Amino acid sequence: METGVSLAQIMRPGRRSIIMTTFEELYNRLVKASVQNHLDEELEQATQDGFDPHHLDCLLNPSKYAPVIRIGDCDCTDKSNTSCAGKCLFDALYRDENGNISINKDLCVGCSECVNNCHAKKLTESRDILPALAAIQHAQTPVYAMVAPAFINQFSSDVTPGKLRSAFKKIGFDGMVEVALFADILTLKEALEFDKNIQKEEDYQLTSCCCPMWISMIRKVYKQLIPHVPGAVSPMVACGRSIKTMYPGAITIFIGPCLAKKAEAREPDVSDSTDFVLTFQEIKDVFDFAGIDLASMPEDERDHSSRAGRIYAGTGGVSEAVQSTVARLNPDRKISVRAAHADGVRACKEMLSSALEGKLTANFIEGMGCVGGCVGGPKALIPKEEGRKNVFEYGNTATYPTPIDNPYVIELLHRLGFDTVEDLLEKSDIFTRQF
């Protein structure tokens, strides 16, 4: 679903523009106009003021581009430009015929390292908010906000999950779902996989159910380790697929701190789950332009996830969740979970290399592409230390410690056609992925 005015319509033959508006200025103007339902008029006015057609196309049609976009010509010195092309772990950067950095859409995983290291600030994150707003405004089916486990207190400590749910409904969503509930389900699946597959002291398992950067590193750089990765989708994918199974035709919009989720949502084998991925910053802009005071919204509280699912967003959270769930499933197990975890691309690479060399004694290996875990994502709104503290405190308020104790997990699985929790070990169209 796209906006009502195309780039071709705006840039009619004979119309000349003096490029004056920056990418950020154009973004703010158009998002504000979209929220206030006068986008077409603002596009016309922007034409008079001058804009870069490439900027506009990136905003109107983000699916055409990688999660990272270039918003200006490279003008770095020979000394400073060495930090760009050739340093991408996934080989997504190259120089075009004009010497500008270009991003390969098919290879970019959205790690944002290039954005952070671009001295000239000519690289930025893709913005999906305009087509997402258009989808909300013209929807004929329910629209659900799927919020990442890292969301707690991102919009201030005064904004409870219930207040945030009310705010989403005010801007046109039919409901808000905490993805932590589906982290519960994936925790249960990985715990069952561990209990089934780890039978000898030398056996080990790599988590598959959280960070898309971690999975991309394994699939593209450390392929030899794929046999140790269970075929589980991420909580985002599980959430989107479950919603669409229960409410056919529903529109699903994931909201979190992660740029890599934009790339994950486009991967062919899981693209059926999530229609749009927005960052915390993008949705905050919508709330701000709509004049919504989040702290004053009424409470619409729903408590469905366990502690295990809520702590996914912090480094070590997945390991702790699986560890406690394995112990709950099989308390007499002779081989317990011995976890190792790393955060940040460099640390993840070192840990994966150690696994290949047989130097790890751990039997459950967790990696997070961002330092601190998801709470350290590039579009988090608060410092990662504060985010991690909030996530674990929120986990401690959960009614249930593990997903096996959570009646909402059991009820949801039944609604989705799983008669027993053990059925999660079987291949399914919702929770299984082939690596």
DSSP state of 204: -
Backbone angles phi, psi at 109, to 5 degrees: -105, 0
Quick one: which of 239, 204, 193, 234 has its CA closest to 216?
234
Using the structure block, give the residue that is written with the tokens 């996914």.
312
pLDDT of residue 3: 54
CATH number of 142-425: 3.40.950.10
Confidence of residue 383 (pLDDT cuts 50, 70, 90): very high
| Model pLDDT for residues 37-71, shown as the tens digit of each residue | 999 999 988 888 888 999 999 999 999 999 999 99
CA atoms within 13 A on the CB side of 30: 31
CATH 3.40.950.10 domain extents, the chain: 142-425
Neighbouring CB atoms inside 10 A of 140's CB total: 6
Q: Read off the tokens for 65.
A: 């581009």
Q: CB-based contacts of 127: which residues, under 8 Å, 6+ apart?
A: 27, 58, 59, 62, 282
pLDDT of residue 208: 80
Q: How far apart are CA 95 and CA 255, in angstroms?
A: 32
| Model pLDDT for residues 103-127, shown as the tens digit of each residue | 999 999 998 888 988 888 899 999 9
Task: Give 3-state DSSP helix, strand, coil % of the chain, rounded to 5.
Answer: 45, 10, 45
pTM attached to this predicted model: 0.93
Neighbouring CB atoms inside 10 A of 42's CB total: 18
Question: Quick check: 10 pLDDT over 90?
Answer: no
| Model pLDDT for residues 207-237, shown as the tens digit of each residue | 987 799 999 999 988 999 999 999 899 999 9
**Does 67-126 carry CATH code 3.40.190.10?**
no
| Model pLDDT for residues 152-199, shown as the tens digit of each residue | 999 999 999 999 999 999 999 999 999 999 999 999 999 999 999 999
Q: Would you say 196 and 190 are in contact if contact means Cβ atoms under 8 Å apart?
A: no
Quick one: which of 47, 58, 75, 73 has its CA closest to 24?
58
CATH 3.30.70.20 domain extents, the chain: 67-126
Q: How far apart are CA 86 and CA 89, in angstroms?
A: 8
Query: Cα–Cα–Cα angle for 201, 202, 205, nearest 5°?
Result: 100
Q: For the chain, how big is the Rg over CA atoms in Å?
A: 22
Which stretch of DSSP H or E encloses residue 192? helix 180-197
> What does each C-alpha distance from 211 to 31, 96, 220, 422 come to in angstroms?
29, 31, 14, 24
Quick one: which of 117, 175, 176 has its CA closest to 148?
176
